[in-house]
Structures are given as structure tokens and as C-alpha cells.
Chains A and B, each alone.
Chain A
């Protein structure tokens, strides 16, 4: 038999003004199972809590109901007090007779009757409450960071500086991402390489960071605090330990005319290469598709010239398993490529702008490479077709972005700003040139952003034309751009030497496949979804996985870095404890009854439900049942409402507890 203690709070006069608290205490005192009931002026005060603790001990109470304010206010307080008195905290419930009763009713008789009923319901509920042990999950204090752009670099450095080991996995041969490709950066026009390369070097030298470049995530198992990640380290064909980065191999490689992706195909590279001189690590990789040795078996020059003997044609992909406790996803973005439509893409093409057909129609990133001092032209703005300096240049914004009919309805966020930057860079480099910008709107929120944009018009003499381009075609060595100026209401036609398209920012190819491995959700464009758009912007719904940078949505560098540091802070919070404690409000499966229909698994948004085989002693399969991973379960109870036989139960909200309340009605 339960010995329930009921404590009715006056809340000063907040409750007692409209609820006859003594009467409530008297009436609920008569309910079966209630061993003790009393009222007190301020239950949450120290003396109030002491009264509660004393009563638990003296009256040998088995359960407690505190009738006071909202449990959202003080449930924690009273559960702690109950725990201090030696009872399991989950044997304490609150009855809300303030927000839901005394404050919303005026008639004392009605409010008192209601209060008695509310407390009565909670008394019936608490009888069915079970002892719930706090769930603890061990935490492996190492973190995985996927993607080595500025987001991944920042997150990795922050976590490593806090003293935790970081595994940084980058798909390309070097870290750096898009920021390494940029020339100068808005809103300050400092050189991107100058601020980026030191960070890259820090990563390479950090004792706590283990860097896997030219590597991809193969498999992710486990859950928060306890992930097992399998990494595929692709064969580089160069032994990273032996290579000194002297670069002789690259000089000697006879294949020299492979378009360099890092330079947006403007420059050429050999078959054994580093993507750019400041690459980290500075270890070359053999592009096996283009290497003569791999294609025909002949050549082998690089191996011969390599002093330390680092070149290894036999090298194979390696699979490495790393246990980690948290994962930061920072896989960044790619630019919408209008020349070819990726397979299965919902984006419709933009053939009308001649990108890919007209050589001097380029995208923003290509312009960055042209403007970059370390780029293929040494920082001179030259036309890809004939190497001449363009005297008239047209920038077109919102290519692909904000075009619902084309399949992308979002704003790419950085284009307004980088186009303004481009007009400035252009003006600084081609003094007698004229830049035109076609734009729909200028979106420049951000510190010093609007000032920056205005500067491009007011000081750098860019001509901004509000309107869209309808057509663009090659005429001789000019590109005719036809558009409308909707502000003035006239058609405009510009004979340009070069056209730069601000193409949409999109998630990286394969973002969806990675999300599926990680078990995180993504939107229809493949941007990863945060757990809550406002309040949990860096966490995934899947516990222990965090987001940083443009993989979550278009972002500039300041936003990317902020989010990366925020993600790192989340990881550090997780690592601050040896064991992860969580509220034991999780679902549990009654295996005896479970028939393995997995309706629960289908509705679980957290991916907490797994399939578990039940075998007899001989190892014969008896049945497959559901298993809820308590580390992953969010505690919503959707599974229970869905399970036809109610074989999965949410602790703290069991059918018994709820039915007891309904029956108390």
C-alpha cells in the first residue's frame, strides 16, 4: 500500500486567495493511499522543502504530490528535495493548482472543488509512478569533424584547444574548402589565404588533431557518446610519413595538362599533384585516372625521382575505425553548376545564360580564382578565352537562387555581398573598366555589410541595374547581355567582355548519402536540418551530432565560424562530464509481447528503435523484437501511441499512469 504525502502550497496568497487550501488538504487526506496531507505558505522555500523532507522521513512516505505552481516551474526543485530525503525523484509529482486553477478562476468554491480534483488526479497518477533510475551513458571524449573547410577547421581547433582529441576527415587531398579558393573577403577585403593558411597549419601541427585527408566516411554506428566511425582513407599512392613535400615528383611528371579543379579549371596540374601550393598536408596525391603508370603500366617517373621513396603505386584504400563521442558535420557547399544538370536533380537548367558554352561567362568562384594573387593569372583579371583584360564586365545575381520555377526557392545569402566585392576587386585591378550588376534585391544585413555594398556603388562606380537578364549571346568577341531595368522601366543591352554569374549555393554532392549514414535529417535541397530553427540551430535532432557552416544552409564566413565555435561548445559541454546523464523519460520495449511489426520504428523521428533478435539457448532465432536505445530516444512517446499492443512504453508516461488519471475523473 502506498503512503502518499500531499503538500498544498498557499504560494503566499497566490493560491490561497481563491483556493481553500485547508479544505483541499483535508479532502485529499481522505483519499485512499494518502497517508499525510498538509498545507504550507511557501512549499518551495527552504522551510517548505524541509517540511517535505521531514515528512517523508517521519511519515515513511512512499510517494509525494506537491500541489502548487506549474511543474514547469518547480518540478525539478521538489524532485531534488524528494531525492535528498531518500526517495526516487520520479515518485514525486506536482499538481498545478496555481496557473491552471487559482489564477484563472475567481469563484472560491469552484476553484476549491477543481483543486481537489486536480490533486486527486495526481494522487492516482503518482500511485502508478515507478522508480526510475537516472540513465547514464559513458562518453568517449573524442570528436569527429567531417569536412575541412573553415567550418570544420574552426570546430576542430576549438575542440582540440579544449584538450579533446579530434578526428578531422576531409574528402579532398587538402583541407581548406572554399575559403582557400577565395581572393579577398568581404566585408574587410583581407586576403583569404592570409587568414586561412595559418589556421590550416595550426590544424596540421595540433597534437590533438588527427587529420585524414582524401578520406570519406564509410559507416557510422552507435549513438551519442559512443559512435563507431569507419573511415575510408583512399589510396593516395604517396606515403604520407615518408614524403617530405619537396615536390620533385610534380615537376617531373610528364602529364601536365589536367585542368585543376581548385583553380576552377583555369590552370593545369600534373597527374601527381597537390591542389594548391599551401595545401595541408603538403603531400601529393596521384590522380589514378590520368596517370600513365596506372593507365598503361609504363612511366613510373615520380617513383624514380622521389628521394625518400614515398611514391607507392601499390597503396590501397584503408578502412580505419575510430570511436568518438560526438560528431560535427561541416561538409559545406558547392556552387550550382549550370552547365550540366546533376543526375536526379530537381533543379532545372539555365542554358539561356550560356555558362559552359561561352568561355567568358564564368561563375563567382572562377572570378575569385582570377582575382586571387596566388591564382592561375597571378591576380590579373583576364578572359579565359583570349587572356585579354575585360573592359566591360557584367555581374548577374540570383542565378538559380530565389527562382521557384527553376527549383530553388531560397536565397543564397552570400552573392549580393561577394558580387559587391567582385566589382571592387575589378575596379581596383582594371581602373578603366566598367562593372554592371543585374540584381533583384540587395540583401546586406550584417555588421558593416550595407556600408560595404554602398561603397561598391558610391566609390567603386559599379552600375547597379535592378532587373533580370532575359538573354545573353556571343557576338564576335563580345557577349551581348539583354535585360530590363525595372526601376526605370527600360530595356538595357550591354556589350560585355566578360559575364560573372552569381550561381546558387547548394549542398555538396552526396550530402544526402552522408546524412543517411549519420541518421540525420535534411531538407528537400539536401541541406542538413537543425533540431530547432530558432533554439537549437547547431544541433541535429540526432543526439550527439552537430552542424557547422554552409552544409546547413548558405552562410558567409563570419556566420560559419560562429556556428563552428558554437558546435564546438556543444561538443565541449557534452565532454564536460564523464557520463552523460539524462532524464529517464525514455521508451522501453516489453519484449515478451512485442510482435516485431516495427510500427514504433517507423514513427520514431530519432531513429532510436532498433531491431533485436531473440534467440534460445541453442541460438535459434525465436523472434525479432524492437529495442529502444535509451541514449538516443527523445522521449516523445509516439511509438507507444502507435504500437497496437502497447509493447513499448514511455517511462514516466505509462498507460497505467494516464489511465489512472482518466479514471480519477
Chain B
């Protein structure tokens, strides 16, 4: 019954922004149905996907998330009429921006998971975890945070000398 647990060298951090009414409830259903999925995901509950600010995704990556999931109610099912429609546009555009600055969109997943789709929640979380695990850690933002230099490259001997003297 219990498959042999595989040992991994890298456990990605996945952060999920979900709405209360559909996806959070769907994740609850996965629990009540005792489905199993990797423990890497941390869930942040919002009233509605409409409340999810793209800045939170950025913040999550800056805080060391290796993958981000945003999930809410299917179109037409929004508890607040149209929050997910607004979110859909916002994220359609934001992901294009991230892609353009060089973020690998394989780390950012969007989904509609209804309160009845415990199975889909498990699938989405598992897929993202495995995909990100295979990709390795998200180093881009973490490396940025470690970088000190603040104005261009130190690409001349004079600059280098000056820099070394600080």
C-alpha cells in the first residue's frame, strides 16, 4: 500500500496562493479524502483570486520560493461574481512580463481548482513540485539579493581599484 519513499537531494519550496471558496476547499477535500501529495507546498488563503496581487508572486520568489501556484474558482464560479475574471487578465499579463525578464514560467503555475476537485489539487501540486524539483532551486532572485554592486559592472581597472579600496 505504501510505496517506498524516495529520497531527494532537493526539496523545492512551493508557495500556493489560493482562494477560500474553491481551491482552499478543494485542498480540504483532498485532505478529507486522504489523498497523498508531496509536503512541499505552503498554502496562503485569500478570499478571492481577485485579491491576489502580482507583487505577492514577486515577493514569494524574492523570499526563496522555487515555485508558485495561483489557484481559484473556475470562470463563472467566483463567489464574488467576477474576481477571478479580473485575476485572469492580471496574471495573463504578469506572467508575460516575468517571462520577458527571464523568469522560467515553468516555476509559475495557474489553475482553476473547484471545491469538488480534490484530485485536481493533488495533481496540480504534485506536478508543480516534481517539475520544479527537476529544475533545481530558483537561484535568480536569491543571487540578486546577495549582490552588492549597485551601479553597473566594475569593468575598468580604475573602478576595480577604487572598489577594492572600499
A residues sitting closer than 8 Å to B (CB atoms) are 70-73, 96, 98-101, 103-107, 110-111, 113-114, 117-118, 121, 521, 531, 541, 585, 603, 605-606, 634-638, 640-642, 650, 652-653, 655, 658-659, 661-663, 665
**Does A72 lie within 8 Å of B82, measured CB to CB?**
no
Please determine whether A665 and B63 come into contact, CB atoms closer than 8 angstroms: yes
Taking A641-B54, A665-B65 as known contacts, 10 extra A-B pairs with beta carbons closer than 8 A to each other, sorted by chain A number, are: A72-B20, A73-B28, A96-B43, A603-B50, A636-B78, A636-B81, A637-B47, A638-B80, A653-B51, A662-B59
For A73, what are the chain B residues with a Cβ–Cβ distance below 8 Å?
Answer: 28
Q: What's the least CB distance linking A532 to chain B, in Å?
A: 8
Cβ of B44 < 8 Å from any Cβ of A? Answer: yes
Would you call B43 and A105 a contact (CB within 8 A)? no
- List chain A residues, Cβ under 8 A from B78: 636
Binding site for A on B (CB under 8 A): 2, 5, 13, 15, 20, 24-25, 27-28, 30-32, 34-37, 39, 42-48, 50-54, 56, 59-60, 63-65, 78-83, 86-87, 90, 122
What's the dominant secondary structure at chain B's contact region?
A: mixed
* Count, A-B residue pairs, CB within 8 A: 130
- With beta carbons under 8 angstroms apart, the residue of A96, A541, A585, A642 that contacts B81 is A541
Whole-angstrom distance between the alpha carbons of A104 and B59 in the complex? Answer: 27
Residues of B within 8 A of A99 (CB): 27-28, 30-32
> Chain B residues near A585 (CB, 8 Å)?
47
Q: Closest CB of chain B to A24's CB: distance in Å?
A: 14
Measured in the bound complex, the distance between the Cα atoms of B36 and A103 in whole Å is: 8
Q: How far is the CB of A515 from chain B (nearest CB, A)?
A: 15
What CA separation (Å) do A103 and B31 show in the bound complex? 5
Distance in angstroms between the alpha carbons of A653 and B44 in the assembled complex: 11
A650–B47 CB distance below 8 A: yes
Chain A residue with Cβ nearest B121? A104
CB-CB under 8 A for A637 and B31, given A107-B5, A118-B42: no
| Residues of A close to B37: CB separation below 8 A | 104-105
A–B complex contacts, Cβ < 8 Å, 27 sampled: A70-B24, A99-B28, A99-B30, A103-B31, A104-B31, A106-B5, A107-B5, A113-B39, A114-B42, A521-B81, A603-B50, A603-B82, A605-B81, A636-B78, A636-B83, A637-B47, A637-B50, A637-B83, A638-B48, A638-B51, A638-B82, A641-B50, A641-B90, A661-B44, A662-B56, A662-B60, A663-B59
Given contacts A585-B47, A638-B51, A653-B47, contact A100 B65 (CB under 8 A): no
Interface centre among B46, B47, B51 (most CB of A within 10 A): B51
A603 to B87, CA, bound (A): 10
Q: Verify A114–B39 contact, CB threshold 8 A.
A: yes
When distances are taken between beta carbons in the complex, the residues of chain A under 8 Å from B25 are: 72
B51 pairs with A650, CB closer than 8 A: yes
User: What chain A residues lie within 8 Å of B27 (beta carbons)?
Assistant: 99-100
- Give B62's nearest chain A residue, CB to CB: A662
| Complex contact B46–A637 (CB within 8 A) | yes
Set of chain B residues within 8 Å of A113, measured between Cβ atoms:
39
Chain B residue nearest to A102 (CB atoms) is B31
Asked whether, in the complex, the Cβ of A663 is within 8 Å of the Cβ of B82, the reply is no
Min C-beta distance of B48 to chain A, whole Å: 4
Closest CB in chain A relative to B9 CB, distance in Å = 15
